[in-house]
Amino acid sequence: MADAKYGLGRGLGSLIPKKAEIKKQHIDFSDGSYSGDEIFASDKDRIVNIDINKIKANPYQPRTHFDEEKLEDLVNSIREHGILQPIVVTKNGDGYELIAGERRLKAAKILKLFKVPGIIKEIDDSKKLELAIIENIQRQNLNLLEESDAYNRLMEEFNLTQDQVAKKVGKSRSSVANILRLRSLPESIKKYLNNDKISFGHAKLLLSLDDEKKQKLLLDRILSESLNVSETSSVLKKINVKSHSRIVEQDPNIKSMESSLQEHLNTKVKLNDKKGKGTIVIDYYSKEELREILFKILK
């Protein structure tokens, strides 16, 4: 089944019963809400039949784009096999608010089902966003810009650090930092990343250029010549050489210090040295990252 292909994060894993902990329980879905014969429940978390019209969307859902072809595949799978994995909801007044399983709910609505199997949980707002993000990331449902915005929401709305976000979603801090950097791309470039016209590798190379005009020129070449990441990197080197043609060769000592600073601060650093005088340019991509950089400098 397409919607259950990927494993769950630790957050979602705590919501849905594990096979070792569940027992068979027959529930009547003769009203068309479920086409299978059996459904499972644990002693603690019963899977119940929920009226589909009483379920509201999760306001913290980070996903904005849904692949129509994949959604159609899921519809066909549910039509044949039923909803094999329950959605997760929380009580909201007289109804419910969705936490995990938006694609399953959309597919159920397309099939005009009356009810869907679900687990009801009591969860606060920060946990709703966290679990929605974890579910989508674990299932590889979010595109890169949605993922970047989701990480930023966790940091801004719930005062989390990049390290905390990385631990919650099961990724390295550097991976989270690189994805957050995508937010600084011009909107004119973001749309190509959003539509899979360029890859994450292309985007990182474009971010290495400090001028939007240069970024757009490189983007035009990527698109017009169908350049892969390796070819784009070669073009970028030529652009950098041309832009700094007045500099014959960078002092190896300066280059070494620049590399050491980049490694220590975990961000892009540029040393502009002219006969022992110059400037240090340090890039940061969020308020939290700025605070972490200052902490490393001042400690």
CA 260 and chain centroid, separation:
30
Exposed (0-12), middle (13-18) or buried (19+): which is 62, by Cβ within 10 Å?
Answer: buried
Tell whether the torsion through CA atoms of 106, 97, 24 and 8 is positive or negative: positive
Distance CA 285, CA 86 (A): 38
248: DSSP letter = -
User: Can you tell me whether residue 66 is helix, strand or coil?
Assistant: coil
* Given the residues 72, 80, 102, 147, the one annotated as active site: 102
Contacts of 104 (CB under 8 A, 6+ apart): 3, 74, 78, 83, 85, 87, 116
Tokens of residue 79, six digits: 């039509």
Task: Verify whether residue 102 is a known catalytic residue.
Answer: yes
Q: Are 270 and 281 in contact (CB under 8 A)?
A: yes
Residue for token digits 């329950």?
A: 86
Q: Are 87 and 116 in contact (CB under 8 A)?
A: yes
The residues annotated as belonging to the active site are 102
